[in-house]
Amino acid sequence: MKTVAVVGGGVIGLSVAWRLAARGCAVTVYDPDPGSGASHVAAGMLAPVGEAYFGETELVALMRESARRWPAFAAELTEQAGLDVGYRTDGTLLVARTDDDLAELNRLVRWQASLGLTPQPLRASELREREPRLVPRLRGGAFVADDRQVDPRLVVRALRSLVRVEARAVTDLSTVDGDVVVVAAGCASAALAGLPVRPVKGQLVRLRGPVALRAVIRGYLDGRTVYLVPRADGEVVVGATSEERLDGAVTAGAVLDLLRSAVELVPDLAEYELTETQAGFRPGTPDNAPIIGALRPGLVVATGHYRNGVLLAPVTADAVADLVTGGPDADLVKPFGPDRFGGRTG
Ligand SMILES: Cc1cc2nc3c(=O)[nH]c(=O)nc-3n(C[C@H](O)[C@H](O)[C@H](O)COP(=O)(O)OP(=O)(O)OC[C@H]3O[C@@H](n4cnc5c(N)ncnc54)[C@H](O)[C@@H]3O)c2cc1C
């Protein structure tokens, strides 16, 4: 039986540990505070195209493959843990306020269509039929039925219940035992394994009210974008900023912008309780794609998932399990190996 040490217990490390344990490995996750990193902040959108930039073809393919695996991943996890993970299939409403916003939105819709997806263009009146609480003055939009969402905090809770965790920080990889060590420490992977991972700050707010929105809403408002991610219990996650900053402060300006955009889209949200303001760090890489592969024999890395770590968790976990125990899914991450940066380190 192989012993595996997973350093980092966010959504990536815990998913990897769960999948490796299912292959019969003896797995220990090392993390002083599992689930406290980016995974605690993430909105949980599983949007394989909405969250990718134009042209990131290989990354989009990986994201779509992971999205395809999410239903089975969520079902298995829910069943094994006996805990809900908030998996929802209500899709995303894209909405635009001005002609320029609509032009921007339509660029995304055309790109999605070119990838074989079928976003459905909607007039303002049709948008409001789908979500009556949207503001009346909108230029138009679209409905993306393929987008899904989960609650990352519930996913982490379920995964934690199924894997062995040792609550300690690892500062030197030689201090953990295992036939294989997997580094999945998010932004901290830079220092631990010398990888070009940098923190990209994201601020968001959480609101809570009596009625849940019907779908995720992504708004284009005078050149700004904002998303509203509803949970079944009336929570709405409003996000997010993207800042090349290292401080973890929640700023008045960011909260102001997020709340203003949210209320401009759905005026009723002004009456909701403001329950949380948060800043987290996305583990970003030079080409926005994750770093998954063997760094040397016995050392595998799975990090740099940037804006899509929740979405990419199933495919990452399956690929790492195959890298460690052998199997075809290892091929899926060949384009994302650590060697692609030519020895460049963080
Ligand atoms: C505002 C915001 C919104 C987001 N929204 C989405 C979204 O809607 N959909 C989506 O797919 N993604 C989203 N993301 C991205 C997603 O959160 C990340 O890609 C994902 O959480 C990365 O997971 P991870 O496990 O690699 O890292 P993390 O969740 O950061 O986990 C890393 C873990 O490593 C541990 N650790 C650190 N140092 C050590 C050490 N020395 N020893 C042991 N353990 C250590 C930490 O305690 C932590 O638990 C969002 C991110 C942000 C910031």
pLDDT in tens, 248-266: 999 999 999 999 999 999 9
Which of 11, 149, 166, 243 most suits a substitution to test ligand 1, by most atoms within 8 Å of the C-beta?
Answer: 11
95 CA distance to ligand 1 middle (Å): 28
- Nearest atom (ligand 1) to Cα of 304: 26
Contact 280, 187 (CB under 8 A): no
Q: Which ligand 1 atom sits closest to the C-alpha of 11? A: 25
What are the boundaries of each domain within the chain? Answer: 3-85+150-197+286-341, 92-145+199-284
Ligand 1 pocket list (CB less than 6 A):
7-13, 30-39, 41-45, 169-171, 184-186, 188, 192, 202, 204, 239-240, 280, 282-283, 303, 305-311
Pocket test for ligand 1, best of 307, 311, 315, 336 (most atoms within 8 A of CB): 307
DSSP H or E stretch at residue 79 = helix 57-81
Mean pLDDT of the 97-104 span: 96
Structure confidence at residue 50 (pLDDT): 67
Q: What is the pLDDT of residue 51?
A: 56
- 322: number of Cβ within 10 Å: 18
Question: What is the rounded CA–CA span in Å between residue 64 and residue 47?
Answer: 9
Mean pLDDT of the chain: 94
User: Does CATH place domain 92-145+199-284 in 3.40.50.2300?
Assistant: no
Which residues have C-beta within 8 Å of that of residue 311, sequence separation ≥ 6? 45, 46, 47, 48, 51, 63, 66, 67, 70
Fold designation for 3-85+150-197+286-341: FAD/NAD(P)-binding domain (3.50.50)
User: 346 falls in which pLDDT band (50, 70, 90)?
Assistant: very low
Please give the Cα distance from 93 to 122 (Å, whole number): 9
Answering whether pTM is above 0.85, one says yes
Cβ-contact 258, 239 below 8 angstroms: yes
Q: Where are the beta strands (DSSP E) in the chain?
A: 3-7, 26-30, 45-46, 92-96, 120-122, 140-144, 148-149, 165-166, 180-183, 198-208, 216-221, 224-230, 235-239, 273-284, 291-296, 299-303
CA of 160 to the centre of ligand 1 (A): 15
Q: What is the pLDDT of residues 156-193, one digit of tens each?
A: 999 999 999 999 999 999 999 999 999 999 999 999 99
Q: Kindly tell me the burial class for residue 110, based on how many C-beta atoms sit within 10 Å of its own C-beta (0-12, 13-18, 19 or more).
A: exposed
Nearest atom in ligand 1 to the alpha carbon of residue 306 is 19
Largest CA distance in the chain: 62
Question: Alpha-carbon distance 94 to 216, whole Å?
Answer: 9
Separation CA 325–CA 338 (nearest Å):
19
Prior bond of 43 cis (ω within 30°) = no
